[in-house]
Chains A and B, each alone.
Chain A
């Protein structure tokens, strides 16, 4: 019996080994390396490489550009995720109640979701063009400097992101709606529940877990958002659309400050981990309650 157990354990180890090795090589090793880099002044093209301790982090603590990027990241994440959830649920409900053309509506939604972020950003770059853009041509004399005005640029970027990723939330919710048995609604109708009561008492609570999951995915994506603002504004005007990942990119790839840039990346990593952990706790608490 014990011999068999030992053999089982060995086989289990052999089976798990490739995953552990792959994770180690692809996640742990680079992660630790970035952490190590962040403790150095390191600019390879100038042969700068010396230990800096926590200097990079200490500088980040007082760096206005870092805090501005952190603020932008927070506003972008909250704004885009909130809009995506509200519009996504609305779109799912609308399609669910639609009698004809559901497939067409779904395909149109998927089209936006399937578009690569850079292509979507380029598309919006043209829509927002100050002189030739469709939006400003339609606005005529009331044209707005979409990507050049520091107050308008971030909302404009958020809108482009919402347009592209709202379908993700909508389709997840729609799938959940299909799985709600019709007799639940019939029972509600028999009990005399109105449309609003049905929505708030039945539909939304049943969507809860899938929404939490969708929100988790979207939040983690939004926290690491890079492509949409990089293409649309490059972080401008005046750095008002510069997120932490764009700041990290500028330091890492534009000026090759590997140490400083790594410190910014480590902060993003910790932020993403903290948010993911909080969501997972929520999900688990939800699972117990259900």
Chain B
């Protein structure tokens, strides 16, 4: 291990050195300005980004924008950022950030404080919860770029065939799965598919189950699992979905794409996923084209109404950028109404600007936009804290242990709470 550590340390040193060299080469005296933009490849029919970047260059003579792709997985992106940003010479100016990282990066001093550079009403057109996620300590650190909210997709054709309406509670959902599967007699048809693999998506799914059951991971006063019995009950319910066969056994290995494909191939009645999936279900060669609709996530009987977790990406600016003004201009350009319209049309990402949900051009392509807006407005963010990653990484294996059934839910909650308490104690 020590050897491995040493290797990693010298390697990252080397990387930092190389990046520093790259940075020096790029900033020639009086030469053209080069902005480096780090982003994750966008799913969808066509990647609209190259065109948007060229547009920006055309409007800003002398500025060149280099788009650089991030690793595919969210955890790898985060690690890329922390290694390079902690290394003092990041080599990029504008970065795409998962909204859960903003408080952490702001607290670490890696992001440029945008508060004073923004017009007073510049953030008004955005979803309030997206703006809240870009705010930490009363300052604004990023511009909201795209928005996500957890949805319940359902097979409208199957529900209609059995005279059912989309379920309002999970108990109803379970009942509907039983009825439809009994009627269809198709062993390949699964009931409810969601994300139960040990990764960030699991935390999102469990949080949604917590909220429907009146439980939280962090209380307003910073208490850890303030409602432990309700939290354990929510975990037990999720485990029950898998144990009873309402959700397939592979749920414990499912991420967004795996569950989306199963539903998209016509092998499931219900799916929990983000808005991007709708475009793919409506694609030309989709097996479920015209048969899918979405509804709010169900709540629990005698519990609270269901609410989807919000998510999405923000654009932040490195505090060490040599061209902060150009970088801010680029972030503004990419989050502008025109750019978000192009992204909503060309890719499967939902805008953060509310007006676009009623935009005729966008609605022609995505008729469900106004309904999506209502659900997005009702969405709830994951705990907004600089220690979110620590929190998520700590609870993941415990939640997973409860879902696969090797740990009683009460013990999983208790042990996650103990570990989280020790780690948070150290940072507070």
**In the bound complex, how far is the Cα of B197 from the Cα of A235, in angstroms?**
11
> A242-259 CB contact bits vs B (8 Å, 1 = yes)?
101100101011111101
Is the pair A234, B198 in contact by a Cβ cutoff of 8 Å? yes
Q: Which of A44, A236, A245 has the most CB of B within 10 A?
A: A236
Is the pair B4, A224 in contact by a Cβ cutoff of 8 Å? yes
Does B407 interact with chain A (Cβ within 8 Å)?
yes
Is the pair A235, B397 in contact by a Cβ cutoff of 8 Å? yes
How far in angstroms is the closest Cβ of chain A from B249?
6
Determine, out of B50-58, B322-330, B366-374, B419-427, the stretch whose residues face the partner at the interface. Answer: B419-427
Is the pair A254, B79 in contact by a Cβ cutoff of 8 Å? yes
**A43-B427, A48-B427, A257-B390 are known contacts. Are A237 and B9 too (CB-CB below 8 A)?**
no
Which chain B residue lies CB-closest to A148?
A: B253
Question: Which residue of B1, B197, B250, B397 is within 8 Å of A248 (Cβ)?
Answer: B1
**In the bound complex, how far is the Cα of B82 from the Cα of A150, in angstroms?**
31
Q: Given the complex, which residues of B lie within 8 Å of A76, measured CB to CB?
A: none
Is the pair B2, A41 in contact by a Cβ cutoff of 8 Å? no
How far in angstroms is the closest Cβ of chain A from B79?
6
Question: Which residue of A48, A239, A252, A255 is within 8 Å of B397 (Cβ)?
Answer: A239
> Which of chain B's residues 211-270 have a Cβ closer than 8 Å to chain A?
249-250, 252-253
Which chain A residue lies CB-closest to B387?
A: A46
Q: Given the complex, which residues of B lie within 8 Å of A250, measured CB to CB?
A: 393
Is the pair B198, A130 in contact by a Cβ cutoff of 8 Å? no
Count: A-B pairs, CB below 8 Å: 120
**In the bound complex, how far is the Cα of B210 from the Cα of A97, in angstroms?**
63
> Which of chain A's residues 4-58 have a Cβ closer than 8 Å to chain B?
26-27, 30-31, 34, 41, 43-46, 48, 52
Does B199 interact with chain A (Cβ within 8 Å)?
yes
Is the pair A46, B107 in contact by a Cβ cutoff of 8 Å? yes
How far in angstroms is the closest Cβ of chain A from B290?
25
Is the pair B426, A260 in contact by a Cβ cutoff of 8 Å? yes
Is the pair B198, A150 in contact by a Cβ cutoff of 8 Å? no
**In the bound complex, how far is the Cα of B423 from the Cα of A59, in angstroms?**
10
In terms of DSSP, what is the predominant structure of the interface of chain B?
helix
**In the bound complex, how far is the Cα of B81 from the Cα of A145, in angstroms?**
33
Is the pair B250, A130 in contact by a Cβ cutoff of 8 Å? yes
Q: Given the complex, which residues of A lie within 8 Å of B2, measured CB to CB?
A: 27, 30-31, 34, 265, 269
Q: Given the complex, which residues of A lie within 8 Å of B78, measured CB to CB?
A: 254
Is the pair B401, A30 in contact by a Cβ cutoff of 8 Å? no
> Which of chain B's residues 8-42 have a Cβ closer than 8 Å to chain A?
8-9
Interface residues on A, range: 35 or more
Q: Given the complex, which residues of A lie within 8 Å of B253, measured CB to CB?
A: 130, 145, 147-148, 237
Interface residues on B, range: 35 or more
Is the pair B389, A238 in contact by a Cβ cutoff of 8 Å? no
How far in angstroms is the closest Cβ of chain B from A5?
38
Q: Which of B387, B400, B404 has the most CB of A within 10 A?
A: B404
Q: Given the complex, which residues of B lie within 8 Å of A219, measured CB to CB?
A: none
Is the pair A257, B426 in contact by a Cβ cutoff of 8 Å? yes
How far in angstroms is the closest Cβ of chain B from A243?
10
Is the pair A48, B1 in contact by a Cβ cutoff of 8 Å? no
Is the pair A59, B422 in contact by a Cβ cutoff of 8 Å? yes
Does A63 interact with chain B (Cβ within 8 Å)?
yes
How far in angstroms is the closest Cβ of chain B from A70?
13
**In the bound complex, how far is the Cα of B9 from the Cα of A150, in angstroms?**
33
**In the bound complex, how far is the Cα of B427 from the Cα of A254, in angstroms?**
15
Does B338 interact with chain A (Cβ within 8 Å)?
no
Does B182 interact with chain A (Cβ within 8 Å)?
no
Is the pair B249, A145 in contact by a Cβ cutoff of 8 Å? yes
Is the pair B397, A242 in contact by a Cβ cutoff of 8 Å? yes
Question: Which residue of B387, B393, B400 is within 8 Å of A236 (Cβ)?
Answer: B400
Q: Given the complex, which residues of A lie within 8 Å of B199, measured CB to CB?
A: 234, 236
**In the bound complex, how far is the Cα of B2 from the Cα of A31, in angstroms?**
7
Beyond contacts A148-B404, A149-B404, A236-B400: 12 other A-B pairs, Cβ-Cβ < 8 A, are A46-B108, A46-B386, A145-B249, A147-B253, A150-B404, A235-B397, A237-B252, A238-B407, A244-B1, A254-B79, A255-B389, A259-B426
Residues of B in contact with A (beta carbons under 8 Å apart)? 1-2, 4-6, 8-9, 75, 78-79, 82-83, 86, 104, 107-108, 197-199, 249-250, 252-253, 386-387, 389-390, 393-394, 397, 400-401, 403-407, 415, 419, 422-423, 426-427
Show 11 A/B contacts (Cβ-Cβ < 8 Å), sorted by A.
A43-B427, A45-B82, A65-B415, A65-B419, A150-B405, A226-B4, A235-B397, A236-B397, A238-B252, A255-B393, A269-B2
Which A-B residue pairs are the 8 nearest by beta carbons? A148-B253, A236-B198, A239-B397, A238-B401, A45-B108, A41-B426, A238-B400, A268-B1
